[in-house]
Amino acid sequence: VARTVAVAELIEQARAGKPRAVARLISLVEDARPELREVAAALAPLTGRATVIGLTGSPGVGKSTTTSGLVSAFRAQGKRVGVLAVDPSSPFSGGALLGDRVRMQDHATDSGVFIRSMATRGHLGGLSWATPQALRVLDAAGFDVVLIETVGVGQSEIDVVSLADSTLVLLAPGMGDGIQAAKAGILEVADVFCVNKADRDGADQVVRDLKHMISLGRRGSGPAWRVPVVPTVASRGEGLIDVVDALGEHRAWMSEHGELERRRAHRAVTEIEAIAVTAVRARLGDLHGTDSLAQLGKRVATGELDPYTAADTLIHNLT
């Protein structure tokens, strides 16, 4: 009973803007503490308000600098902003250049900003498995905008897409990004492109290449969102208002076309699936005796049993 009170109180304090309560709630879910389910149930009716923006791109392209600039831009609009950084090299997780850290410290003293690095990389690809739950905490705590920064390697940009309402993909000149973008299927995941480091040679060419690829990539007969390409110099704060505008337009477009609901339902499906698969895997490990995974494995290895029958036996024994 005492625990119930504590959770309710924590949530109340988090909603009142107390950063320590927000941090404690995220720790609760991140550490998968026994209170996790109670927290999840209490948060559910409070969620669905926050605008979730994912940022992805190669290391060094300027994600953290852009994130910091976007925080300032949204704060100027009076919005409360949460940041989840899922990047081992991120300033928020300590691998920072001094300048970046100093920049983020401006926000650290602002109670309208909450920054958290999701330290652990989970088994579900690039994003920590706790990231969706941390997102729920920030949403329920009343943050108007949540920015999720993740380094664009392998699976993580896909993961961030499944979490975000809008995904911002950053490229920069001189990084071979244009070609990589096409290869990595990054074209499909971007709702808005930033060509950062537009103060450098070759930025115009990257913008042209991207626009060309976008025009080629158009498919389907339904109403299509025309992905904007925004040049930025994040280190000087240039172009970030244009990014905010582009994100606003994307959101309006999604609302108009039912895309926001579709994405959020998809997000929930991914989340439920991950939780269910984790639970199933844990229960598989709990099976003992002749029908344990280990014993079935031995029988399949010797040819006594086929793997499909073995899998059916496992699933049957779970229920």
Ligand X SMILES: Nc1nc2c(ncn2[C@@H]2O[C@H](COP(=O)(O)OP(=O)(O)O)[C@@H](O)[C@H]2O)c(=O)[nH]1
CB of 219 to ligand X, least distance (A): 29
Q: CA angle, corner 71, sides to 191 and 244, nearest 5?
A: 35
CB of 84 to ligand X, least distance (A): 14
- Residue 68 makes contact with Mg ion by CB under 5 A: no
| Residues 41, 45: Cα–Cα separation, whole Å | 8
* Nearer Cβ to Mg ion (21/104): 104
CB of 240 to ligand X, least distance (A): 10
Question: Which residue number has the CB closest to Mg ion?
Answer: 64
Q: Which of 80, 79, 83 is nearest to 100 (CA)?
A: 83
* Nearer Cβ to ligand X (97/277): 97
Q: How many residues of this chain bind Mg ion (CB under 5 A)?
A: 4
- Do 167 and 189 meet the contact criterion of CB atoms below 8 Å apart? yes
* Nearer Cβ to Mg ion (87/191): 87
CB of 56 to ligand X, least distance (A): 9
Using DSSP, state whether 304 is helix, strand or coil. Answer: coil
Residue 129: exposed, middle, or buried by beta-carbon count in 10 A (0-12, 13-18, 19+)? buried
Q: CA angle, corner 107, sides to 105 and 112, nearest 5?
A: 150
From the list 5-13, 75-83, 87-95, 230-238, the region that binds Mg ion by CB under 5 A is 87-95
Other CB atoms within 10 A of residue 190 CB = 24
Residue 56 binding target from Mg ion, ligand X, none, CB below 5 to 8 Å by type: none
Q: Which of 61, 80, 245 is nearest to 146 (CA)?
A: 80
Binding site for ligand X (CB under 6 A): 57, 59-65, 89, 97, 100, 196-197, 199-200, 233-235
How distant is the alpha carbon of residue 293 from its chain centre?
33
* Nearer Cβ to ligand X (28/85): 85
- Residue 90 makes contact with Mg ion by CB under 5 A: yes
CB of 88 to ligand X, least distance (A): 10
